[in-house]
Structure 1
Amino acid sequence: MTLYYTLVFVLLMVEMTLFMLLIVPLPFSLKRKIFTFISENPIVAKVQYWMKICFVFILILFIDSVNRVYRVQIDLAMATESANKGSAGVMGHERLEVQARKFYSQRNMYLCGFTLFLSLILNRTYVMILEVMRLEDRLKSYEGTNKDTKEAEKLAIAGKPGELAALRKKLEQKEQDLETLRKQSEGLNKSYDELSDKYAALVKDPENTKAR
């Protein structure tokens, strides 16, 4: 694996770690402090800016890997056709080389694609958690469980039961969306593990690939 694809792999591992940290259940006060720090810290803002630039380069790598997969598919089809016709120019090791190129191209495509997809999930999860926290603050304020709630706010909400029900419904919807994102992340991790197992099998047993 080349250096830049190794860096993409490291970034994917970092994204997985961050996603797991985002969905870890924490006390509301601690979670609010953490997200307030992330939202207001200038260093974090600079890191996010440079990460966006990195994702632009990863997108370029993804497009290049898709192009390589397409070209390898054409080469493999031509090699198979020549082998079926009994061409002496196509040897077993040449076919094995094309298959190896196909695997490496697909691996790079999946690696870049999963990294980009998980970045979108992270961004969406972060925004949704902020929205849930905002709704929880409003809900506590309306229910009178917030220490900073004033008596006037209690009287104001008393005449609006429908608004409280709507907020509860929004909060439940956000929690369902977070659960859906968690399941998508588990499927993403499973797919990447399967791809890693195939790569390890190819490296350890190249003769098996040749036989296929």
Structure 2
Amino acid sequence: MTLYYSLVFALLVFEMVVFMTLIIPLPFKIKRSLFTFISESPIIAKLQYGLKITFIFILILFIDSVNRVYRVQLELSQAKFQGGAAAGVAGSERMEVQARKFYSQRNMYLCGFTLFLSLILNRTYVMILDVLRLEQEVKTLRGESPQNDKNASKLGEAGELGEIGRLKKELAEKDRDLETMKKQSQGLSNEYNKLGDQMTQQDGSNKKAR
């Protein structure tokens, strides 16, 4: 096994360990603290970004391995119809092709399962965050949540990936809209006062004329 496929295998084992960690039943407070740390840690965020880039290279390896399996399968199909007097040579070549087929299929399955498990991990992580958030809301509605729990206020911030950034962006947009409305209101108020002064002056001039 080459170095990059060995790294892919190591990543597959790491994903299996992470998946087992996610599905292990833990007390609510411990699991909430764990997922809050994962959601807020900048180190975990950088690790997730690096893994996304790594999965792109694994996808390229997966496509290459599928192509190799297809080409080896064509060679085997051609070898079945080959004839001639050199049966021993043909047999040794066929064994070589079979070995290459085995290695190509192994690499294809290795990369494929690694990519598939990454999708499962992402979906499982998001679902567990939703379950924890809903459990926290239920406990809050029932009055079972202690007021001095420091992690209680952080659970809602965990949410889905990117939820905090999206909410901050929406809040900034609303603040800009509010400032714009304040400026427009101030402008309308100034115009109203100006028109009121003009009407007062006109009324005074009409009274003098009479």
Q: TM-score range by the shorter chain?
A: 0.5 to 0.7
Paired position in structure 1 for 2:60? 60
The aligned residue for residue 10 of structure 1 is: 10
| Matching residue's letter, 2:103 | Y
In the TM superposition, residue 113 of structure 1 has moved relative to its aligned partner by: 0.1
Within 2, Cα distance between the matches of 1:116 and 1:30? Answer: 29
Instruction: Tell me if 1:80 matches 2:71.
Output: no
Count of matched residue positions in the alignment of Structure 1 and Structure 2? 147
Distance 1:43 1:56 in 2: 21
Partner Cα distance (1:138, 1:87) in 2 = 79
Query: Deviation of residue 86 (structure 1)?
Result: 4.1
- RMSD, aligned α-carbons: 1.5
Query: What residue ranges of structure 1 are gaps of 5+ in the alignment?
Result: 149-212
Q: Residue 133 of structure 1 aligns to which amino acid in structure 2? A: L
Cα distance change, pair 67–87 in 1 and its aligned pair in 2 (3 A): farther
SS of structure 2 residue aligned to 1:110 = helix
Q: Does 1:135 align with 2:134?
A: yes
Q: Which amino acid is the alignment partner of residue 44 of structure 1?
A: I
Unaligned runs of 5+ in 2: 148-210
Q: How does 1:1-212 map to 2 (within 5 A)?
A: 1-82=1-82, 85-86=83-84, 88=86, 91-148=90-147
Q: Is the deviation greater in 135-144 or in 112-121?
A: 135-144
Deviations 1:130-157 (A, max 9, x none): 0000010111122222224xxxxxxxxx
User: Partners in 2 of 1:55 and 1:87 — Cα distance?
Assistant: 48
The alignment's TM-score, normalised by the length of structure 1, stands at: 0.67
Q: Aligned residues: percent identity?
A: 70
Q: Distance in 1 between matches of 2:44 and 2:85?
A: 60
Q: Matched residue of 1:91: which SS?
A: helix
Pick the structure with greater CA Rg.
Answer: 2
Following TM superposition, the consecutive aligned residue runs of length 4 or more in structure 1 with deviations greater than 4 angstroms are none
The structural deviation recorded for 1:91 is 1.8
Counterpart in the other structure of 1:184: none
